[in-house]
Amino acid sequence: MWSTLPHLVFDSQFLDFAFNYSFDSEFDAGVGNAARIINTILLQHTGPILGFHFMSNDDYMAKYLDPWIIFVSKHGIQKFTIHLPDGSCLYELPYGIMTCSSLTHLEVLASTVFRPSDCVKFPNLVSLELVDTQIECKLIEDTLILPMLETLKLISCRVFGRMRLVAPKLENLTIDNIDIEYLNPIVTSIKHLSLDRSSLEILAELFHVAADRLVLPQNLQTLKICALGISVEQFSGALVLLRGSPNLYELDLSVAVEVDESRTTELFSYLSKAESHLNEAFRMIQKVRVREFKGSRAEMYLIKLLLAYSPKREKIVEQFKNCNSSDCIEHLKELISFPRASTKAVIK
């Protein structure tokens, strides 16, 4: 039955089974048995292999990945997943997977090295997720062509050199904890953007131009910011991002815990003098979601500003964290009492 299954999944449960049924109790024998089973399944498979998903809690089998990747790339692979543990030895993705014409989804959660040569092309890749990946560019500026890419996630990645991404259909971009020297404005086509506090600062630096704006797409519709810092630098960067997105209608954010009263006071002073920027930043937003809401001074003040400067606001949703019912009720009472620019604004 397995010989015709289009999607093959080799996870930690499978690896435990392979180890337990090895004729030799030695660790290397268990590894070899697991590799032999996978080799047998691939060689005896009679149908197309549309999905190949390898997920291990250890890195002992990384040395076997290359021939498997090359094999499935020649048998119609569409969705490919690699999960290896944090801190494992660096694994370099083979060049063949980058030029595979059938591949549509690639997910790599592992300590990997990705070395795109100039004009490397994933011809039909729709979704690319790289976690804990080291991207190394060999030339002065390498070009990575992704003509069909719609979704890109870069999480805990480091980019060495200048990488120019060509992705005209990109609509969904997630950037979280990246270390990058240069990034061309791939954001010019996106509709949905998610980033963390450090990436917010990086974007502000990379795309900062005259008039205190970012070179951002006119069609950005939703924005998610994780752990927005309590500082003038963080909030000013967020305002620059919001002001450069005239069609933004949904904002999803979480605010970091207050740790320094002086920084909070400094931030409030800055925001109280930024009325024109607030008007421009919040004018089109209709829905706001505040995650991990704790009822801090900064969170309460931010929602107060959102209500006061958002004439098209329809809904604000708070998702409380570590808050008992009585405190939640008190926070909601205070939030409801805030003046609002929109008569349609509802707090939930």
User: By the 8 A CB rule, do 160 and 135 touch?
Assistant: yes
State the pLDDT at residue 210: 44
Q: How far apart, in whole angstroms, are the C-alpha atoms of residue 192 and residue 219?
A: 9
State the pLDDT at residue 213: 44
- Residue 136: which residues within 8 A CB-CB, separation 6 or more? 113, 114, 115, 160, 161
State the pLDDT at residue 67: 92
State the pLDDT at residue 181: 57
State the pLDDT at residue 189: 76
Residues of the chain with pLDDT under 50: 27, 209-213
For the entire predicted model, the pTM comes to 0.85
**SS3 assignment for the chain:** CHHHCCEEEECHHHHHHHHHCCCCCCHHHHHHHHHHHHHHHHHCCCCCCCEEEEECCCCCCHHHHHHHHHHHHCCCCCEEEEECCCCCCCEECCHHHHCCCCCCEEEEEEEEEECCCCCEECCCCCEEEEEEEEEEEEEEEEEEECCCCCEEEEECCEEEEEEEEECCCCCEEEEECCEECCECCHHHHCCEEEEEHHHHHHHHHHCEEHHHEECCCCCCCEEEEEEECCCHHHHHHHHHHHHCCCCCCEEEEEECCCCCHHHHHHHHHHHHCCHHHHHHHHCCCCEEEEEEECCCHHHHHHHHHHHHCCCCCCEEEEEECCCCHHHHHHHHHHHHHCCCCCCCCEEC
State the pLDDT at residue 263: 78
